Amino acid sequence: MLFSEKDVHGRLYEIAIFEIVLYPENMKPIIGINLDVTGGSPPQAAIQSTYFEAVQKAGGIPVLLPPMPDSDLDDLFRSLQGLMLIGGLDYCPTKYGEQASSLVELCDPRREDFDFRLIDRTISRTDMPILGICAGAQLLNIALGGSLIQDINSELPDTQVVHTINAGWQANPHKHPINLKLSSQLGKIYKSDRLNVPTSHHQSVKKLGQGLIAVAHADDGIIEAIELEGRPFTIGVQWHPERDFEGNADLFKHFVQAASRMHVQKAPSTSAKLSS
C-alpha cells in the first residue's frame, strides 16, 4: 500500500506500507496441499482423502490448491503456514535434462507447470515448512537441480526390495524397511534407525539437488528420504506416511507444529521513494 506525502521542502515522497499479519497463538495452522490433475471433459483436479485427513488429525487446516496464476498464488501465500506436496504420476525427465524412457508415465502438464511454480516460490519467497510425499519429494529434488532414477527395476534389476506392487493401493498398503539416520530431523522425529514404511513408487532420487542430504535408504541403496539443510522443516519422504497415519503420526504432528510457528508473516522492510 502506497501513501503520498510532501516533506517540509514541498517534495513529494511515497512510503510503502507492508502489512504484517498476526495470528492468534491458538489458531490452527493452514496447510496448502497441491492436487492431482487428470484429463477429460472437463478435466478433474482431485486428491486422495488420506492426505488432508492426516493434516486434520495432526491439528492443521488443509486447503486444497488447484493450478492457479502466480498472482493468485502470491496472494494465497499470505494465508498459508505450511505446504504439503502429494504423490502422483511422473514429472517429465526433461526437467532434469534427460529423455523420458518408455516406462515413464507423465503427469498432466497443468499439474507439472503449477507444481514447479509452487515449489519455486515457496522456497525462494517464504520460510514455510514443506513436506513432500513420494512424487512430492521428487519434485523438491528436481526443483533444486537434482535428478531421478526413471525406473528402479530397470536401474537395479537384481534388487530384492519391492518398492511397488501391481495391485497398488487396492490391497493393504505394501511396506518395506528403510534405514534412517538418527542424527537427521526425521531420525529425531521417529526415534529409530529402522522403519517399515508403506510404499508405492517406481522412481527415486538419483542426483541430490543443491543443499539436499539423503537421510534414509532402502536396503538396496535407493534414497528414501531427503532434507534441505539450512531451511526449517523441508523434508521429502519417498514413502506414503498418509497411508499409515498411526505409524507416522509424529511426522505429521512435527510438520504441523513447525507450521504453527509461522503465525507472524514476514514483511519486507518499509521503503521510501523521494522525488523532486
Catalytically active residues, by annotation: 134, 240, 242
Buried b / exposed e over 122-142, threshold 16 CB at 10 Å, is bbeebbbbbbbbbbbbbbbbb
* Beta carbons of 23 and 263 less than 8 angstroms apart: yes
Is the link from the previous residue into 157 a cis peptide, with omega within 30 of 0?
no
Buried b / exposed e over 250-268, threshold 16 CB at 10 Å, is ebbbbbbbbbbebeebeee
C-alpha cell at 223: 534414497
Q: Which among 173, 165, 227 is positioned nearest to 201, based on CA atoms? A: 165
* Beta carbons of 237 and 217 less than 8 angstroms apart: no
